[in-house]
Structure 1
Amino acid sequence: MRGTERLKVIEKTTDPLFDALPLLPKAETILVRLLRVGALGLDEYFAHIFRHLDITEKHYHALCVLVSTRQGTLYPSELSEIIGTSRANITKVLSSLEAKGYVSRKNSNKDGRRNSILITTKGRQIVGRITEQMDTPVEAAFANLTSRERNQLDKLLRKMIVSFDDALHANDPIV
């Protein structure tokens, strides 16, 4: 289903949803639905782009993060936090990248029970080749937004992320 069709479904189902569940906060619920549709569209768009490159967006993102570190190494838990995926999923991502020779694991000098993930020369090369092909698709993904709208969206998304975090931790016990 295309994004425009998903938007029509949201429009079509909004009134029945709130008739059935009148206690739901309408504006916020619509925002949640729009964010989910937007995230799905983003995933589908980049999956299509990366499919022909024989790598996933999560693989590419992990490699980019590793390239950007000084030593080209991180712990899996750090990498999962930075790229926004679960620890279970980062294990799958790293196993796949390791099988392709893009990363290697080494025991931590500080804690022998932990493994560090190190990007290999082959991993750096694939990131370079893919990055050369990414400018046009990334720009195309946001082509319908003006520069001002992109800046506004950036600010709003950052504010939303902080709002989610604040709401999540509002009732945390003070330690």
Structure 2
Amino acid sequence: MKFFYRQNVVLMVRALYFCMDSHWSELGKKYNISPAQQHILFILCTNQKTLTPSEISEIGCWHVSTVTRLMKPLKERGFITIVRDPERSKYKKVTITHAGEDLFHQIVGTIMDKDSFPFEMNHLSEVELDGFLQCGQKILDINKGTDLREKIFNAKLTGIDYL
């Protein structure tokens, strides 16, 4: 592949990430929860509400130690519970609480009211957005595997109209 493409993909993805992160950080300030912690709540809400730290790590593309660090304040604030797995004593189970779900649904409500989240895209057609997503899916399939891509694209929140 030409270096031109590699360089511009890296620069574009990085710039888009920082545009998104800026908006996500605003939400974090409003609700006193970091973007990464918001993402943990999303992962739990879209995956039967209970996962192991390793599963959260895989879906969130973090190291397990990062997940452990991010979960501590969520547990202290009552947004998640962490208990030993009764069937596998070396494993823990992380479950989102009602308070965590309530907070996350407040955040989602704010996002749904903002057409500019994660960044301005209203000027793009559905065909353009589908093309962008298809390219991202191919890159994810090669680099992270189809299982992760399927978890990402099949993640749905109950009670949300995705159309």
Q: TM-score, normalised by structure 2?
A: 0.77
In structure 2, what is the Cα distance between the partners aligned to 1:39 and 1:77?
24
Q: Find the counterpart in structure 1 of residue 50 from structure 2.
A: 73
Task: Name the SS for the 1:133 alignment partner.
Answer: helix
Runs of 4+ with deviation above 3 angstroms: 163-166
In structure 2, what is the Cα distance between the partners aligned to 1:165 and 1:42?
21
Bigger CA radius of gyration: 1
Q: Deviations over 1:2-53 (max 9, x none)?
A: xxxxxxxxxxxxxxxxxxxxxx822222222222222222222211232211
Unmatched segments (≥5 aa) in structure 1: 1-23, 167-175
In structure 1, what is the Cα distance between the partners aligned to 2:25 and 2:9?
24
Task: Name the SS for the 2:128 alignment partner.
Answer: helix
Equivalent pairs counted in the alignment come to 141
In structure 2, what is the Cα distance between the partners aligned to 1:104 and 1:165?
28
Q: Which has the higher helix share?
A: 1
Structure 1 residue 102 and structure 2 residue 69: aligned?
Answer: no
- Higher RCO (C-alpha under 8 Å, 6+ residues apart): 2
In structure 2, what is the Cα distance between the partners aligned to 1:132 and 1:117?
24
Q: Summarize the Cα distance change of 1:122–1:114 in structure 2 as closer, same or farther, 3 Å threshold.
A: same
Query: Which of 112, 122, 139 is the equivalent residue of 1:160?
Result: 139
Query: Which of 79, 82, 100 is the equivalent residue of 1:123?
Result: 100
Q: TM-score, normalised by structure 1?
A: 0.72
Task: Name the SS for the 2:7 alignment partner.
Answer: helix
Query: Which of 64, 67, 76 is the equivalent residue of 2:42?
Result: 64
RMSD: 1.9
C-alpha deviation, 1:104, in angstroms: 0.9
Aligned 1:1-175 pairs, distance under 5 A: 25-70=3-48, 72-137=49-114, 139-140=115-116, 141=119, 142-165=121-144
Unmatched segments (≥5 aa) in structure 2: 146-163
Task: Name the SS for the 2:62 alignment partner.
Answer: coil
C-alpha deviation, 1:68, in angstroms: 2.6
Identity across the alignment (%): 18
Q: Deviations over 1:87-107 (max 9, x none)?
A: 222111110100111001111
Q: Which amino acid aligns with 2:78?
A: G
Q: Deviations over 1:72-94 (max 9, x none)?
A: 21100101111222222211111
Q: Summarize the Cα distance change of 1:61–1:25 in structure 2 as closer, same or farther, 3 Å threshold.
A: same
